[in-house]
């Protein structure tokens, strides 16, 4: 069976840090901490809602996290600017290694699927903007199961939707919580360590492989030397 790659989107294929370029100029002196707070709170809200069974789609979670961030840093942002920031989440650029990596992986016969907390229509727009739409076979979204990573139900849904098996599926993600969630469900995992100083959680699950760039996957024999 060809290998199946479940590709995380935010922070793995597209650069969420680029949101800083869309921040209003009047908060330039707080751009780094603003972007960090927004992303951290966005993820925290997905964890909370997954545990509570109180699903809100990723776009609304992101909006709530933006409102929290503005209040935390005592920054007043107009609704127009907030809308522009939300639109930027549909137009994030891919990391430089992504397009050549996905092109080569597809040529080698890998089945490439987007696997994201984001809404299907939002991921579709994002992939189109980043020029990745022609490399992706399908989009598996959390909206289908009304929960978020690392809920085991979402990983099970991916297996069902793509008609694959856990042992032939590799998660590709820069998010340790995602890698741990997939590993706990019996998947093979690849941690994309985009930040050299990033630390993986000291849990019982560790990534099967660790790479700094997606292009390294093309040369990893373990991915291809399978029955």
Contacts within 8 Å (CB) and 24+ apart, 137-141: 137/111, 137/112, 137/113, 138/113, 138/114, 138/162, 139/113, 139/114, 140/6, 140/113, 140/114, 140/115, 140/116, 141/116, 141/117
Task: List alpha helices for 53-198, DSSP H.
Answer: 58-72, 79-88, 98-107, 120-130, 152-162, 176-184
Query: What is the number of other CB atoms lying within 10 angstroms of the CB of residue 43?
Result: 20
Q: Quick check: is 64 catalytic?
A: no
Catalytic residue among 8, 97, 151, 178: 8
Catalytic residue annotation: 8
């Amino acid at each position: 069976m060809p290998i199946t790659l479940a590709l995380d989107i935010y922070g793995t294929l597209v650069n969420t840090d680029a949101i800083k370029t869309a921040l209003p100029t009047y908060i330039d002196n707080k751009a780094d901490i603003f972007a960090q707070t927004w992303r951290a709170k966005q993820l925290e809200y997905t964890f909370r809602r997954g545990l509570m069974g109180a699903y809100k789609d990723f776009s609304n979670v992101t909006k709530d996290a933006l409102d929290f961030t503005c209040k935390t840093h005592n920054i007043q942002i107009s609704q127009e600017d907030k809308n522009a920031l939300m639109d930027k989440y549909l137009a994030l650029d891919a990391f430089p290694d992504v397009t050549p990596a996905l092109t080569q992986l597809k040529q080698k016969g890998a089945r490439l699927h987007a696997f994201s907390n984001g809404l299907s229509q939002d991921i579709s727009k994002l992939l189109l903007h980043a020029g990745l739409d022609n490399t992706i076979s399908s989009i598996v979204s959390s909206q289908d199961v009304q929960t978020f990573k690392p809920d085991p139900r979402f990983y099970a849904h991916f297996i069902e939707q793509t008609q694959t098996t856990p042992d032939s599926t590799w998660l590709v993600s820069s998010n340790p919580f995602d890698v741990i969630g997939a590993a706990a469900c019996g998947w093979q995992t690849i941690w994309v360590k985009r930040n050299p100083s990033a630390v993986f959680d000291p849990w019982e699950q560790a990534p099967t492989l660790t790479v700094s760039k997606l292009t390294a996957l093309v040369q990893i024999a373990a991915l291809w030397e399978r029955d």
